[in-house]
């Protein structure tokens, strides 16, 4: 079974977009043990221009009090939520694939390759580099990036808890209050959404599947948009989703055709990177046996939406999509 974690989803989707498919990415909501919430260790004195903080890997990083030229590849959701504009944004394929759902704020921001080549990073003259996970600075990469600009690693894992990541980013920029406000606003949105959904349709079972490259993947019950549907909004998890999530550790896991037709969900959210209702691999007869399909309860979204990503902005947009779909 193919497994997609946060980084792999972003890269694979993006590469497919470059081949006339669509791009996407994904992050997650894993346990707090997988995330750093290390408190800032400040050595700031009156009039100083930098302060020392300790990152997820134990590095003591001397960062500017007010960074002006930030590179934070694949953490742009968090920056934008806190009112911070990076100097460059994540991309694949010479900018062919970007995080489309953030472009109302980042449309004029130049792109940087996802693997952050040293020369490209240096060309932007950053005064702070944020890395999403330890895997991004494996080997001697951390030392190389740190020569260019102070480099801070936000989390240890590929799939870190988005709430914890937001708090850490807030600490790095001295925006703890703003980060807390973002979380409180999101929680209020969720509470309102739960009430609206329950009033309209009760507590239905739902599932999100991703169609890409003629194959289907199903979201984990604890990661990405799965965390939004099941943990935040409290919607029911179909048995097939539980089964696949139990054996898979990624945000999106491959689902066989046999399991797909067993997907007993009241409502289905289809993230369609192939821009077609049915790939050749699934016959109309099989597709139409899915309960949500038979009842006309399938809601399709393009890969340019937030469904394959995570973060305060992505999750908020997913909540809006779910409410609109289930209450209209």
Phi-psi label, residue 125: left if phi above 0, alpha if psi -120 to 50, beta otherwise? left
The pLDDT, as a whole number, for residue 214 is 86
CB 158 within 8 A of CB 178: no
Average confidence (pLDDT) over 295-319: 95
Average confidence (pLDDT) over 4-31: 45
The pLDDT, as a whole number, for residue 1 is 37
Q: Is the pLDDT of residue 17 over 70?
A: no
C-alpha distances out from residue 238 to 38, 51, 62, Å:
36, 49, 48
The pLDDT, as a whole number, for residue 187 is 98
The pLDDT, as a whole number, for residue 18 is 40
Q: Is the pLDDT of residue 286 over 90?
A: no
My answer on whether 265 and 288 are in the same domain is: yes
CB 4 within 8 A of CB 250: yes
Of 89, 72, 277, the residue nearest 173 (C-alpha):
72
CB 306 within 8 A of CB 318: yes
- Rounded Cα distance between 194 and 323, Å, is 8
Residue 139: CATH number of its domain:
3.40.50.1980
My answer on whether 209 and 306 are in the same domain is: yes
Q: Is the pLDDT of residue 11 over 70?
A: no
Average confidence (pLDDT) over 20-41: 40
C-alpha distances out from residue 193 to 16, 21, 196, 202, 309, Å:
33, 32, 5, 12, 20
Q: Is the pLDDT of residue 257 over 90?
A: no
User: What is the helix, strand, coil percentage profile of the chain, to 5?
Assistant: 40, 20, 40
Range of the domain at 302: 3-27+183-327
Name the token pair of 190.
């969720």
- Rounded Cα distance between 167 and 160, Å, is 12
Domain count, the chain: 2
My answer on whether 267 and 299 are in the same domain is: yes
Q: Is the pLDDT of residue 30 over 80?
A: no
The pLDDT, as a whole number, for residue 279 is 52
Question: If pLDDT is split at 50, 70 and 90, which confidence band does 97 have?
Answer: confident
Question: If pLDDT is split at 50, 70 and 90, which confidence band does 51 have?
Answer: very high
Q: Where among 163, 181, 199 does a domain terminate?
A: 181
Q: Where among 156, 181, 206 does a domain terminate?
A: 181
My answer on whether 38 and 177 are in the same domain is: yes
Question: To which residue do tokens 């009033």 refer?
Answer: 199
Q: Is the pLDDT of residue 28 over 50?
A: no
Task: Provide the angle, in degrees to the nearest 10, between the axes of the packed helices 312-327 and 176-201.
Answer: 10
The pLDDT, as a whole number, for residue 6 is 55
My answer on whether 272 and 138 are in the same domain is: no
**Chain segment 124-155, per-residue pLDDT in tens:** 999 999 999 999 999 999 999 999 999 999 99
Q: Which of these ranges, 164-173, 186-195, 235-244, 268-277, has the smallest mean pLDDT?
A: 268-277
SS3 state at 294 = helix
Q: Where among 154, 181, 208 does a domain terminate?
A: 181
What's phi and psi for 310, nearest 5 deg? Answer: -150, 165
CB 76 within 8 A of CB 86: yes
My answer on whether 215 and 158 are in the same domain is: no
Degrees (nearest 5) of the Cα angle 250, 251, 254? 70
The pLDDT, as a whole number, for residue 122 is 98
Average confidence (pLDDT) over 297-319: 96
> What is 181-224 written as a DSSP string?
HHHHHHHHHHHHHHHHHHHHH-S-BEEEEEEETTEEEEE-SSSH
Name the token pair of 243.
């089964």
Q: What percent of the chain has pLDDT over 90?
A: 71
My answer on whether 150 and 194 are in the same domain is: no
Average confidence (pLDDT) over 36-45: 43
My answer on whether 72 and 200 are in the same domain is: no
């Amino acid at each position: 079974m193919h497994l997609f974690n946060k980084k792999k989803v972003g890269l694979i989707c993006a590469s497919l977009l470059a081949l006339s498919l669509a791009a996407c990415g994904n992050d997650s909501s894993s346990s707090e043990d997988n995330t750093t919430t290390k408190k800032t260790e400040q050595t700031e004195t009156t009039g100083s221009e930098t302060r020392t903080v300790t990152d997820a890997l134990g590095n003591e990083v001397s960062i500017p009090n007010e960074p002006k030229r930030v590179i934070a590849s694949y953490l742009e959701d968090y920056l934008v939520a806190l009112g911070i504009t990076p100097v460059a944004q994540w991309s694949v394929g010479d900018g062919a694939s970007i995080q489309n759902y953030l472009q109302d704020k980042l449309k004029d921001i130049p792109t940087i390759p996802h693997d952050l080549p040293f020369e490209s990073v240096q060309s932007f003259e950053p005064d702070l580099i944020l890395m999403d996970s330890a895997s991004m600075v494996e080997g001697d990469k951390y030392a190389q990036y740190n020569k260019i600009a102070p480099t801070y690693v936000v989390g240890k894992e590929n799939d870190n808890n988005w709430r914890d990541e937001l708090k850490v980013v807030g600490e790095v920029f001295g925006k703890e209050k703003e980060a807390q406000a973002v979380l409180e606003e999101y929680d209020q949105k969720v509470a309102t959404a739960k009430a609206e959904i329950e009033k309209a349709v009760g507590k239905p079972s739902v599932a999100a599947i991703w169609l890409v490259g003629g194959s289907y993947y199903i979201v984990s019950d604890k990661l990405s948009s799965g965390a939004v549907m099941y943990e935040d909004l409290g919607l029911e998890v179909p048995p097939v989703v539980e089964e696949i999530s139990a054996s898979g550790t990624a945000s999106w896991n491959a689902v066989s055709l046999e399991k797909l037709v067993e997907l007993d969900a009241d409502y289905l959210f289809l993230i369609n990177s192939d821009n077609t209702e049915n790939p050749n691999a699934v016959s109309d007869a099989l597709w139409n046996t899915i309960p949500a399909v038979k009842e006309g309860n399938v809601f399709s979204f393009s890969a340019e939406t937030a469904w394959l990503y995570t973060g305060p902005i992505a999750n908020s947009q997913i909540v809006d999509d779910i409410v609109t779909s289930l209450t209209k």
